[in-house]
Structure 1
Amino acid sequence: MTADFVVARNPDPESTLPYLLRIPLGDGVILKARETWPRTAKVYCHRVEEWPEDAEIVERVAVRSCLRRGAAIELVLDRSRENRSQLVLTRTRGRETIFWQTARTNKQARPAVAVPSARASAVRDLEIHVDDRERYAYRFARQQVVVRRSRLAAGDYAILEDGGVVATVERKSLTDLVSSLTSGRLRFQLGELAAVPRAAVVVEDRYSAVFKLDHVRPAAVADGLAECQVRWPAVPVFFAETRPLAEEWTYRFLAAARVGRLEDQHGAAVVASLASAPELAPAPPTPAEVRVWAAAQGLVVSDRGRVPQRLVTAYLDARESGPAGPAG
């Protein structure tokens, strides 16, 4: 059993967790992980039974200490930076859940916002198609959305019309973005997205995280992203900071794209009339309005205090039935 902490590439091409971790605790703890280190957020991990023989080693670091304390494994590496972390073992709905965190990511403030549940402007009965190859897909549970699984020609979330994609969003983690950019795959994806009338890429991280990358030159990633935006200006790459915000942005983008499509087909005025909110009920009368009406009808009402409900009801009945003369 090695006393090193080892990071390798996950050879399983269908896994959404691209890295393997080997923790020197007991007989060894082997995990799949989304990142090579929890730099900007907690990293979700999942257990693996065996270490694959053909795993490509990305990093090997000597370990100063690795101890189990209750529900956590405290890992200290023999290096000056990014050396202390903790793996927290919990259970969610009866299943083991593991999060890899550092003191920084554990204390890092979440965005001081509450994701709104209000429907996107001028949109009703929005139907979003999710690519059936997308794992851990957005559910849009906070929004009034019908979600359907489909095989999409471009992107991960889309609005379809007559069987074709009219608006789509490609979702990426920072790791996936960097991997697809350095391998050249992102350019092919952007070419496919550019063929859609309205398309975008949303990244579940901050743009600043690009400049904290260790295993690739940050400047090369920044240059590559800039070149992609110059070459495909109609496909914006949006950094949404967190997964919930990326999901919210995807919903708003697709909703706006649907409105734009309807406006192209029918005109803005028609779309506004179709999507307008139902007419609101008239506001209740003020006490002053009821007193003026009651005095005109020769009804006795005090100048102060609460207006009797019978007078309010009589006023509303008179308003609905039309003008009436003074009581005789």
Structure 2
Amino acid sequence: MPDDFVIARNPDPDSTLPYLLRIPLASGAVVLKARDTWPRTSKVYCHRAEEWPADAEVVERVGVRSCTRRGASIDLVLDRGRENRSQLVFAQAKGRPVIFWQSARTTRQARPAVAVPTARPSGIVDLEVTVDTHERYPWTFSDRQATVRRGALACGDYGVVRDDRLLAVVERKSLADLASSLSSGKLRYQLGELASVPRAAVVVEERYAEVFRHEHVRASVFADGLAECQVRWPSVPIVFCETRKLAQEWAFRFLGAALRAHLDDEGGAARVEELVAAGPLAPVSPATGPSAAELRVWAAAHGFEVSAKGRVPAAVRAAYDAALASATEGS
């Protein structure tokens, strides 16, 4: 019987591969560094590790049904109901050896041919992302210009906090979690909480097309439920991203844009405060002189052409004032 399959955190803080995998081959266990804890939505890049640390911080430990090397790959079958079959493939990419961890799902699933940009989000030099303490296997933003810290969030999984105030938050969901929370009604409570944050979103690590292929929830029920949620909470978009990488990228850009908007709001308020305060307005003087209707009657009697609507010309008013002054002097 093979040893257990173990996932631990990589103790090297500078590594872009945050996890260690202990693969229990019959000839002896091997250790790999990995970018993620399972190939859920895309192949996971792995690299050879130097050693398994004696005081490893174990993330997950699972029994193994079989672990066999077949040619340039290792077939791994875990002793659990879901996410149990995978394969580690040794290949060449651009002339150098690489290792990819894949599952049947990620092998057959179509992938968008996109290159994710590396520029900072909305001009933010170093975005600090708070990851909720209850989030398991979180995005690491390791290849992004961001600082990640753990902390308790009132809602959501990833947030931007400034002066102890939650400015923006992202709730991450797999398609299975989305279907479960929608069916149980939990999603509605979550959206209600997210709507209390100035800027919030739900990001799903899957394509929208998969909503109509779900095994346990009827397609029409699933789609209608999501539409109803969006109508009820329009300020919290539900965004579908094809891969985990793209979901992380969308959240990274969203949180950066939210922080930029907050800083712009703060800057605008500060600029307004710098302006000189205006004094109080003088009270409105009571109206004096004839009304416009009276001026029109006088103008018509004295040969002036004045339209029936609009403003009375200043020349007519001046002529009236002169005539009134002359009459007053004559009396």
1:80-159 matches, cutoff 5 A? 87-88=86-87, 99-101=102-104, 105-159=106-160
CA distance in 2, matches of 1:187, 1:197: 18
- State the match for 2:180 in structure 1: 179
- State the match for 2:297 in structure 1: none
- State the match for 2:171 in structure 1: 170
Preserved contact between residue 157 and residue 169 of structure 1 (Cα < 8 Å): yes
CA distance in 2, matches of 1:200, 1:217: 24
AA aligned opposite 1:211 = F
- State the match for 1:72 in structure 2: 75
Taking only aligned residues, the RMSD between alpha carbons, in angstroms, comes to 3.6
SS at match of 1:188: helix
Shift, 1:267, TM fit: 2.1
Cα 1:72–1:183 shift into 2, 3 Å: same
Shift, 1:233, TM fit: 0.3
Preserved contact between residue 43 and residue 101 of structure 2 (Cα < 8 Å): no
AA aligned opposite 1:145 = A
Matched, 1:207 2:208: yes
SS at match of 1:121: helix
Cα 1:153–1:86 shift into 2, 3 Å: closer
Matched, 1:189 2:196: no
**Which deviations, in whole Å up to 9, do the C-alpha atoms of 1:40-90 show, x marking residues without a partner?**
7679xx874499xxxxxxxxxxxxxx9x8833379xxxxxxxxxx964257
CA distance in 1, matches of 2:121, 2:172: 20
SS at match of 1:110: coil
SS at match of 2:187: helix
Shift, 1:167, TM fit: 0.5
CA distance in 2, matches of 1:163, 1:264: 17
1:264-279 matches, cutoff 5 A? 264-267=265-268
CA distance in 1, matches of 2:190, 2:112: 30
Cα 1:245–1:98 shift into 2, 3 Å: closer
Higher gyration radius (CA)? 2
Shift, 1:265, TM fit: 1.7
Matched, 1:249 2:250: yes
Preserved contact between residue 34 and residue 175 of structure 1 (Cα < 8 Å): no
Cα 1:227–1:34 shift into 2, 3 Å: farther
Preserved contact between residue 89 and residue 99 of structure 1 (Cα < 8 Å): yes
Aligned residues: 204
SS at match of 2:172: strand
Shift, 1:116, TM fit: 1.0
Structure 2 gap segments, 5+ residues each: 1-36, 45-59, 78-83, 91-99, 272-331
TM-score (norm: length of structure 2): 0.54
Shift, 1:219, TM fit: 1.1
AA aligned opposite 1:101 = A
Q: Which moved more, 1:113-122 or 1:146-155?
A: 113-122
Q: Which moved more, 1:251-260 or 1:156-165?
A: 156-165
SS at match of 1:142: coil
Cα 1:227–1:88 shift into 2, 3 Å: same
Cα 1:144–1:41 shift into 2, 3 Å: closer
Shift, 1:185, TM fit: 0.7
Shift, 1:101, TM fit: 0.4
CA distance in 2, matches of 1:73, 1:148: 33
- State the match for 2:319 in structure 1: none
